[in-house]
Structures are given as C-alpha cells and as structure tokens.
C-alpha cells in the first residue's frame, strides 16, 4: 500500500504500475500518473471520476477482462485479484443457492450483452447484486454499457481511495 506522498514522489513507471490494477484503461493510468502531484486523495478520486466519464465502450470492454464474474474467485494472481476478492466479500461462497443464482444470472447477462456482469460489489450483499442483475437484464445495450461504465468508475474510485489512503 502506498500513501499519497509516496505516490506523488515515485517514478512515472512505478506510478503506472501502482495504478494499473485500479482500472485497466491505459489512457486513464497514464493521465493519472502524469497528473501528479495531487494535493490530496480526494483530488485523485475526483480526477478519476471526471476521466471515467470519457471512457469509450471499447475501453470499458477492455477493462472488464481483468474482473472475475460476481461470485467467482479471480483466476489470475496479482493486485487486481486481491482487490476483487476483497470487494466481493458480500458473496457467501458457502451458500450454494446464491452461487447457483449468480451463475445463472451471469450466464444470462453474458448471453444478452456478450460481456461479464460488472457491479460495484463493495458494500453490497449478494442479494443486492442479484436484484441489480435482474434489473440490468431489462436494459437495452446502449443503456447497459453506460451503466457498466458507471459501475467501473465507482470500483475504480474506491480502489484509488484504498490504494492511496
């Protein structure tokens, strides 16, 4: 973990490496590393949220590649896997019914939208995530990519805040 002071002082390459697990969007990572120094963590988070509004559907799709399905463990090691596991703490992996409902919902979502279901899991129960999944299955593709972008932006802001606090 790094403090904001450390982040502001480290090399560009180290800052890029530190930010990359927060959002796998190269333009976002580069802009935030180049934007240093920041006065406080809130400024980094605000910059992150402003930048997220400019993410293209293609960038969002690319960023999803590193996220596990809701209810599943990350398959690749590293900082992003650790973050994802911590964020999905609201999913009780011993509850077979919940896991089956998540598997079914994930499959229906992927069939409809051809990408994983991404939701800010931190602070949400499995039931809340399942309710949101059912709601989002009613969206048209254009609406859903915007909702997904918003969820990715929330996840990214939380990860940045955790990383630098």
Q: What pLDDT digit, counting tens, does each position of 8-23 carry?
A: 999 999 999 999 999 9
> Whole-prediction pTM value?
0.86
| Overall domain count for the chain | 1
Other Cβ atoms within 10 Å of 138 Cβ, number: 9
pLDDT at 98: 83
CATH code of the domain containing 104: 1.10.3330.10
Across residues 67-87, what is the average pLDDT?
A: 58
Q: Give the contacts of 126 (CB within 8 A, at least 6 positions apart).
A: 71, 90, 91, 92, 95, 98, 102
pLDDT tens per residue, range 86-100 = 555 455 566 788 889
Residue 119 has pLDDT above 50, yes or no: yes
Q: Which domain holds residue 104?
A: 4-164
Provide mean pLDDT across the span 35-43: 95
Supply the mean pLDDT for the chain: 86
Exposure letters 105-127 (e unless 16+ CB within 10 A, then b): bbeebeeebebbbbbbbbebebe
Pairwise CA distance, residues 154 & 121, whole Å:
10
pLDDT at 57 over 90: yes
CA-wise closest residue to 63 among 107, 27, 110: 27
């Amino acid at each position: 973990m790094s403090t904001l002071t450390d982040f502001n002082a480290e090399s560009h390459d180290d800052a890029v490496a530190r930010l990359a697990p927060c959002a796998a969007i190269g333009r976002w990572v580069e802009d935030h590393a180049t934007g240093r120094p920041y006065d406080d963590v809130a400024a980094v988070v605000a910059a992150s949220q402003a930048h997220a509004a400019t993410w293209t559907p293609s960038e969002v799709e690319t960023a999803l590649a590193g996220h596990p399905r809701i209810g599943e463990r990350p398959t690749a090691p590293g900082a992003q896997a650790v973050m994802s596991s911590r964020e999905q703490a609201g999913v009780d992996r011993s509850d077979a019914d919940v896991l089956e409902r998540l598997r079914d919902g994930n499959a229906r979502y992927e069939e409809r939208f051809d990408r994983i279901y991404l939701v800010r899991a931190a602070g949400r129960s499995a039931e809340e995530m399942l309710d949101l999944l059912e709601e989002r299955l009613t969206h048209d593709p254009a609406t859903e990519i915007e909702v997904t972008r918003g969820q990715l932006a929330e996840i990214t802001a939380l990860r940045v805040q955790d990383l630098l606090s």
